[in-house]
Amino acid sequence: MAQTFHRGSYDTIPAAYEAVFAWIREHGLHQAGPPRELYLTGPDTATSADDYLTEVVVPLRRD
């Protein structure tokens, strides 16, 4: 698995995906299934979208 954490609005999560997929390519790995988003802090617990915390997880395989 490759993972990264994104802090901020859900609108800016694509930057987290770009970063984790760049890391995967740099290390010669390949995606083995769909990515997951785990919402650790969101609208129910944070007073501002700047405080949202999302974990992006991508399962991996080696060729």
**Which domains does the chain carry?**
2-61 (3.20.80.10)
The pLDDT, as a whole number, for residue 48 is: 96
CA distances in angstroms from 36 to 7, 17, 43, 47, listed in the order given: 16, 11, 19, 24
Burial class (CB in 10 A: 0-12, 13-18, 19+), 47: exposed
Task: Count Cα atoms within 13 angstroms, Cβ side, for 33.
Answer: 6
pTM: 0.88
The pLDDT, as a whole number, for residue 62 is: 74
Residues of the chain falling short of pLDDT 50: none
The pLDDT, as a whole number, for residue 10 is: 96
